Amino acid sequence: KSLYEQAEKNFGTIQPGFTHLQVAQPVLTSHWLMAYFWMFKRDFDRLQSFLDRLVECPLGAAALAGTDFPIDRWSTAKQLGFEKPTENSIDTVADRDYCIEFASIAALSYMHMSRLCEEIIIFASQEYKFIELSDDFTTGSSIMPQKKNCDFAELIKGRTGRMYGYLQAILTMMKGIPLAYDKDMQEDKFLSYETIDLWQNTMKVMAPMIRKMKINAKRTYQAASHGFSTATDMADYLVKKGMPFRDAHRVVGQTVRYCVEKDKTFDDLTLEEFQQQSDLFTEDIFKEISLEHSVGARKSYGGTSPEAVKVQLEHAEEFLDKAHQKLG
């Protein structure tokens, strides 16, 4: 919900998208935020699916062989809120798949949080200045008064290893255990409770940290303007004029090299300078390589155009409403 709210609030803001941490193509900041929204939605769906499988009641399996007392496992299962009893008493006692699956979901979700924290740390740096975190989630330096360190994001990122460790520990605990019960398995409680606590406590920090952060729209726009992020649009422009893409790629590369040598951006070039690279360039090139046109042209489903991102936001809102109803 915090990501969704930020995406709505910053709708229309343009920033560079990256590959290899190099400026690639311009995107809406909302599109970047929603990328993480869908990651966390998948985590939510996995958890719901996992909970939906916890419908078999272990009561009555006894030590491993069942019991000779005249019990009704179907009745007790229903009374305890399960759909049915487990099918095999040995498997019931020996199974810890649910602990492993839960730890796996938590580890995957924590990885998503760690990736987001890493980008927050990068984007909050002085070199980027895309993001400013609230003072609630930063600290100063003991000797450098100008510092505003993203300590909470760093701690979350650092604790990802601990979360992975819980999953690895449960997997290792179970890898060589003969049927049915062995004392090794009592470790499942400690590891599961630690997983729950770490995951929940981190979510309690992540949500307000995201909700309170500020996006520097002026800075993100400047960064997208100065990284030749519309180079692909320039190549596409030449292709639409009839030039093979291989040649268009070469022409755009030459144009970028020219700009670097002259310390210019695409916006600084005159039509004459464009035409030095190819006579296919005409006055309309300036519109074609604008950030607004580049972003707006990506109208394919799931793309970064305003129309496409609005569809994402609509679907996200529907999901949040349904999830809220389901959780009460």
Catalytic residues: 20, 141
Q: Can you tell me the distance from the alpha carbon of 314 to that of 193, in angstroms, rounded to the nearest whole number?
A: 36
Beta strands in the chain (DSSP E): 14-19, 22-28, 56-57, 84-85, 131-132, 214-215
- Cβ atoms of 42 and 122 within 8 Å: the answer is no
- Kindly calculate the radius of gyration of the chain based on its CA atoms and give it in whole angstroms: 27
Residue with tokens 């993100």, as numbered in its chain: 220
Residue 93 three-state SS: helix
Where does residue 62 fall: left (phi above 0), alpha (psi -120 to 50 degrees), or beta otherwise?
Answer: left
Cβ burial of 127 (10 Å; 0-12, 13-18, 19+) is: exposed
Q: Can you tell me the distance from the alpha carbon of 191 to that of 227, in angstroms, rounded to the nearest whole number?
A: 46
Residue 328 three-state SS: coil
DSSP per residue, 216-274: -HHHHHHHHHTTTTTHHHHHHHHHHTT--HHHHHHHHHHHHHHHHHHT--GGG--HHHH
Where does residue 149 fall: left (phi above 0), alpha (psi -120 to 50 degrees), or beta otherwise?
Answer: beta
Using omega within 30 degrees of 0 as the cis cutoff, is the peptide bond preceding 62 cis?
A: no
Q: Can you tell me the distance from the alpha carbon of 181 to that of 187, in angstroms, rounded to the nearest whole number?
A: 12
Residue 132 three-state SS: strand
Q: Can you tell me the distance from the alpha carbon of 215 to that of 315, in angstroms, rounded to the nearest whole number?
A: 23
Which amino acid appears at position 276 of this protein?
A: Q
